[in-house]
Amino acid sequence: MSAGRTKVQRHESKQTDSGDEAVDDAVAEVASKKKAAKKRPPPAEEEEDVEEEEEDPKPLPKRTGVKGKKGEKPTFAICKKPLDDGGACDCTGNDIVCDQVVFDDESELDTLMLTPPKNATYTYFAARENFFPILKKGEILPLIADKIEELDLSKNKLVTIESEAFADLNSLSKLHLNHNKLRRLPKDAFKGVEDKLHQLFLNSNDLRNVEEGTFKSLKSLRRLEMDYSKVKITKGLFEGMDNLEKLSLDGTTFDDNTDVNVFDHLPNLKVLSLRNTHLTEVPTSIQGLKHLEELDLSGTKISELHADSFKNDQSLKILFMQDMPFLWGIEDCAFCGLEGLQEVHFKNSSQLYSVHNNAFGFEKGKDATKSLTKVVFSKCNISTLHEALFDEDLDLDLQLDGNKIICNCNTTWLLGEQRFKFATTSQAPRCAAPEIARNRELMAVDPADVCDAVMSRNKGARMIKWFLMTLMFSTIGVLGYYMVATGKVKKWITPKPRENVLYSNLQTNDEQPLEKDFQPRPQDV
């Protein structure tokens, strides 16, 4: 497993002004909450006509520390009581969850010097929406630190992480530090967890400075998310991350001017997300990612896809370009050569209206994307698609709902029988025009109703059929009359008379004497 995320700057007596101000601001925020809580008006008296009594509020946990050895900071005991009985944390199975803890004195949980019962086997710890402005070495769950595999400290107003703060968590594989106020990460922020940390989440912090080499020792890291940070994306930032497979840089400073070699240290990257960045072109830096299978460019400022947009990205399987506010066209052979491409998603790209007939390479039959299984054009601005766009043998899930499809001779290939599948979560596409087919599902429209050529072709075919049938029956009638008139029919049906045949072994000359022998005798006298 892997974990781990943001770096921390060392909290020394001579802390930077920005760090001091951030911590002071966080402390002031908590103080103001306490003050507001004390001025909270008393609850309104119950009305007499209310029969049902309100349930008693759950008791709040008491802030009672457990003193440690001399010179050590006191720890706070947890998991002794359930949440509904004054417990600060929910301890179930292998999980400890201490979210948004408020004590009986209206203070927040501000320490990770927490001690569960002895012989505990907890591996997951979450403490979210509390108040931990600083993380220090040796002050994170001291008694069970070596057992924790996943740690979630999101939304805690965290400003500073000191060097080696996570060093005692030598089983840590997954670390969440999202939605804090981190501004910088020192080089040795993750020292001690290099061999185990697999996933690190640093989303939505105020990161501006990450020293080069900070991630260099994280040889086991497989996933890194730094969404919506303000740090400059450089080649050196990812040095040493040879095994990283998933990288998310949504909403960062990544743009067209970012170093084209920025991903050179990521030879095994498979999934890359650059959503909501300021890109206006597909970055050429991705061409060096030989194993890239999934790319997300949604929400960027790209306006057009051309033949070289995805050059050399033969491993790409899934492409997301959803919610594209400026994308209007997909040009000739935009996806040619992507033999492994299976899915493309353009949902909610409301300006997209032009898709070239050979965008996927099927019209010209060269470098076509024959592995294609799903194309999503939902809620775009498409009115027509050419029949040559896709191979007729594709088992394709084509989603066109939300478009104003003009049902005419150019789109008859989409009409009538259901040629393509439609996801159950997607509405079947409908015709926007002509009036005879308006709002009717494409599969329910007869091509002859919207295309004169089809209608004429069908009419002509029917006329030819009737002509041939008439000609055939006329010919049969004429031949029949001729046969009857000439007596041939009678001759065929009347049997011929049989001739009498006599057989004899005598010749003609022999018959004469024989006849004399048989003359009648003279009458007796």
Q: Which of 193, 226, 254 is the last residue of a domain?
A: 193
Total number of domains in the chain: 2
* C-alpha torsion angle, residues 300, 305, 308, 313 (rounded to 10): 60
In a domain, 415, yes or no: no
Task: Give the least confident one: 72-86, 137-151, 462-476.
Answer: 462-476
Task: Give the least confident one: 103-107, 203-207, 352-356, 395-399.
Answer: 103-107
The domain in which residue 95 lies consists of: 1-26+58-193
In a domain, 404, yes or no: no
Give the pLDDT confidence score for residue 41 in this predicted structure.
46
SS3 label, residue 185:
strand
In a domain, 102, yes or no: yes
Q: How far is CA 49 from CA 56, 57, 142, 338, in A?
A: 19, 21, 54, 73
In a domain, 86, yes or no: yes
Does residue 163 contact residue 10 with C-beta atoms inside 8 Å?
Answer: yes
Q: Which of 193, 211, 237 is the last residue of a domain?
A: 193
Does residue 210 contact residue 186 with C-beta atoms inside 8 Å?
Answer: no
In a domain, 248, yes or no: no
Task: Determine the average pLDDT of the residues in 349-375.
Answer: 95
- Classify strands 124-126 and 95-97 as parallel, antiparallel or unpaired: parallel
**How far apart are alpha carbons 85 and 98 in whole angstroms?**
14
Does residue 208 contact residue 237 with C-beta atoms inside 8 Å?
Answer: no
Task: Determine the average pLDDT of the residues in 487-494.
Answer: 66
Using pLDDT thresholds of 50, 70 and 90, give the confidence band for residue 70.
Answer: low
Choose the most confident range, by mean pLDDT, from 39-43, 127-131, 308-312.
127-131
The burial class, CB within 10 Å (0-12 / 13-18 / 19+), for 486 is exposed
Q: Between these two residues, 469 and 244, which has the higher pLDDT value?
A: 244
N- to C-terminal Cα separation, the chain: 152
- Classify strands 150-152 and 174-176 as parallel, antiparallel or unpaired: parallel
Choose the most confident range, by mean pLDDT, from 8-12, 115-119, 301-305.
301-305
* Residue 200 dihedral angles phi and psi, to the nearest 5°: -135, 125
Task: Give the least confident one: 8-12, 46-50, 382-386.
Answer: 8-12
Q: Has residue 285 got a pLDDT over 70? A: yes
In a domain, 31, yes or no: no
Task: Give the least confident one: 251-255, 272-276, 436-440.
Answer: 436-440
Q: Which residue has the tokens 């008139």?
A: 485
Give the pLDDT confidence score for residue 500 in this predicted structure.
54
Predicted structure pTM score: 0.76
Q: Which residue has the tokens 């010097």?
A: 113
Q: Between these two residues, 489 and 142, which has the higher pLDDT value?
A: 142
**CB count in 10 Å sphere of residue 463:** 10
Q: How far is CA 52 from CA 35, 39, 48, in A?
A: 33, 28, 10
Q: Has residue 373 got a pLDDT over 80? A: yes
- Express each pLDDT in 209-227 by its tens digit: 988 788 999 999 999 999 9
Using pLDDT thresholds of 50, 70 and 90, give the confidence band for residue 444.
Answer: confident
In a domain, 67, yes or no: yes
Task: Give the least confident one: 77-86, 242-251, 479-488.
Answer: 479-488
Q: Which of 193, 216, 240 is the last residue of a domain?
A: 193
**How far apart are alpha carbons 3 and 6 in whole angstroms?**
10
